[in-house]
Amino acid sequence: MFIVQRERGYLDPAGVRYLAKRLRLRYTDIWEVATFYSMIQTKPVGRYHIQICKTLSCKIHGRGENYRFMCVNVLALSLARPQLTGSFTVSMVECLGSCGTAPMFQVNFDYHENLTPERVDKIFDSLTEPSRDFFC
């Protein structure tokens, strides 16, 4: 799935059909796995895919209001940087397995933890740098 995603940008229906045939599985077998895990994209995403954890630990460690502020900050900061316009996708996802350093989000495959509004700002500053591979 990662290889197809890397080659095509996301796991599209043609990619799912290819995998099903190649692995001798049903189309729905591939699709069920693809749609379960947040690291597999079934729709096109921007150059920077920001996945914000929306599960309990991140909300608790983010102390409710702070967590909401952080989420809004992510959106506001991304919109405030014209150089990033059209190059990012923001998704709310289930636990990313980094509960001890919550609140956190993931940009492509990089984790950013113990987030504060200031740290979010610095992360967005780093996104303006020239290209990084989608896959590490």
Chain residues in the site for ligand FES (CB under 6 A): 53, 55-58, 95-99, 102, 104
- Closest to ligand FES by CB, 8 vs 54, is 54
- 89's tokens: 């996708």
Provide, rounded to whole angstroms, the least separation between the CB of residue 72 and ligand FES.
Answer: 17
Q: Which of 128, 130, 53 is nearest to 90 (CA)?
A: 53
Report long-range pairs for 67-72 (Cβ below 8 Å, ≥24 apart). Answer: 67/103, 69/117, 70/103, 70/115, 70/116, 70/117, 70/120
- Closest to ligand FES by CB, 71 vs 102, is 102
Provide, rounded to whole angstroms, the least separation between the CB of residue 58 and ligand FES.
Answer: 3
Provide, rounded to whole angstroms, the least separation between the CB of residue 89 and ligand FES.
Answer: 19
- Closest to ligand FES by CB, 55 vs 116, is 55
